[in-house]
Amino acid sequence: MRTIVSRLIRYKSSVAQARFVSASSGGRYLSTESNKIDEPFNVEEAETVHVPPPPTEKLLVLGGNGFVGSHVCKEALDRGLSVSSLSRSGRSSLQESWATRVTWHQGNLLSSDLLKDALDGVTSVISCVGGFGSNSYMYKINGTANINAIRAASEKGVKRFVYISAADFGLANYLLGGYFEGKRAAETELLTRFAYGGIILRPGFIYGTRTVGSMKIPLGVFGSPMEMILQQAKPLNQLPLVGPLFTPPVKVESVARVAVRAATDPVFPPGIVDVHGIQRYSQQKSR
């Protein structure tokens, strides 16, 4: 009997403790009586965490004051990118508003020191560098200069590198040996150094309005209809020896659009994009 009374006393004591919570604790408790609820919790607002925005994509265009390079700069600016350019002559001579928004560097790709300075903070590179002349000169400009740029960009930790090369033209390749040998050497270096972020565009003839001094040359007058005709004659492109001569021309705006997308879109596949791929990608909406 004494044991039963003792257990009953301990039970009542524990119930009383469960009902009481010190007012200074700022909390609440549920009474053992189902119809009694004390004051609600005082819930403090969660602290706002200020996450910095993603870093701005910074694009370096090599040869940005040329025919193709100027369109690449303009396209990149239209997409909200921070754009700089390195070329032998420095600032573009074009008197257009977009040119004032580009950071212009003057330098030679055969001098690696100047190139490394221009690569500071750069996330992607597009090279539009190329030229004609003697075989040795063409190999140096199309090959050695671009190889230097690819190596410097790789050492600087650049994520993506787009090289605007050239389509094969069959017999014409032998007439311009230094040009195509240089291009292919640069392509090999790019695919080695940028296995996952290297893209090679191989357009044929690139048309558009080319500015030479104060003159504007509308290459699209015959380039556009030729593109339409040769697009329908794609099987001719497979003919031995002469087939590459039927490679359709492509608009400079299309090349610029695909180049900028390839340089900034992380899901754009690495590798070689021929003229038909350039036409296809240029018609797709950018991410």
pLDDT tens per residue, range 72-128: 999 999 999 999 999 988 777 777 888 899 999 998 898 767 788 899 999 999 999
Domain membership of residue 48 (yes or no) is no
pLDDT-based confidence at residue 166 (cuts at 50, 70, 90): very high
**Euclidean distance between CA atoms 277 and 234, whole angstroms:** 13
**Euclidean distance between CA atoms 139 and 126, whole angstroms:** 19
pLDDT at 222 over 70: no
pTM listed for this prediction: 0.73
169 is in which domain, residue-wise? 58-283
**Euclidean distance between CA atoms 7 and 152, whole angstroms:** 84
Number of domains in the chain: 1
**Euclidean distance between CA atoms 189 and 200, whole angstroms:** 11
Asked whether 147 and 186 are in contact (CB, 8 A), the reply is: yes
Domain membership of residue 183 (yes or no) is yes
% of the chain beyond a pLDDT of 90: 47
**Euclidean distance between CA atoms 99 and 212, whole angstroms:** 16
CATH number of the domain that 165 lies in?
3.40.50.720
